[in-house]
Amino acid sequence: MENFLFQELTSVFPAGLKTLWNSHTLIETQKLQNLLEEVTQLRAEISGLKELTQTALESCVKMDWALKSSGATIDTQRTSQTYDCKDRGLCRILRLFWTASPPDTILQPKVFPGNCWAFKGHQGQVVIRLPARVHLTAITVQHITKEASPSGTIISAPKDIAVFGVDADREEETLLGMFTYNIEKDPIQTFPLKSMLLPRAFSRVKLLVKSNWGNPWYTCIYRVQVHGKMENRKAPTEDQDK
């Protein structure tokens, strides 16, 4: 229909209309070409941003600020109580491969079946004091695999987790991320935090476990790693020293 209309009109105004039609087509073609170039450039910028973010994350993940040997400790007053097995029958079974461990177990690199910190039920929390104020970028949670578990299951693993940066001076908490630990994936899972975009450092980290993978009695955390860059503090001036 469009070609027929074009032929009819050009038969009446052959020269001028043909020039106008060609000019219109050229303009539309140029607009389309410009749009395609913009899309290509945008894709390249997004790809570059992803690579930059991944590189920054990988460089920060190399440092673990939640190591007990580096000075990290547990704020026991803000941490859930360690699971106390009162069911004698259940305890006899559990003692074959699991004994109660303190919360700072999660700050040590030795991960093997049973060497975890457990709290009662499927909801609990732990607050980690860092050895320095840190711009937090990511957090790593580790559990054992099904194959390594004496029971053949890992339903005590944490599932839905929220991470908060804690300002010890003002008692404020800032939500830095919410994620799900997937027991079907690698046992060591790292999750980026929002503070990668926030110019703020924290001296403590709160890990709030909202659910586990089905264990009705307790939830086990094997290891937690906290990643980021230490806050750069300016040296005090002569006036400040006075």
Looking at residues 81-87, what average pLDDT do you find? Answer: 77
Residue positions counted in the chain: 242
Q: Residue 178 — pLDDT band, cuts 50, 70, 90?
A: very high
Least confident of 4-13, 33-42, 194-203: 4-13
Strand partners, 119: 82, 219
Predicted pLDDT at 139: 96
209 Cβ contact list (under 8 Å, min separation 6): 119, 122, 123, 124, 125, 158, 159, 160, 161, 219, 221
On the 0-12 / 13-18 / 19+ scale of CB atoms within 10 A, 89 is exposed
In whole angstroms, give the CA distance from residue 196 to residue 194: 5
pLDDT, the chain, mean: 81
Least confident of 73-82, 190-199, 233-242: 233-242
Least confident of 12-21, 159-168, 183-192: 12-21
Domain layout of the chain by residue ranges: 2-60, 63-230
In whole angstroms, give the CA distance from residue 1 to residue 67: 75
Residue pLDDT, tens place only, 16-73: 555 655 666 666 777 777 777 777 777 776 765 655 555 555 555 579 999 999 999 9
List the beta strands (DSSP E) in the chain: 73-74, 117-120, 124-142, 160-167, 172-180, 188-192, 202-209, 218-221, 223-230
Class of domain 63-230: mainly beta
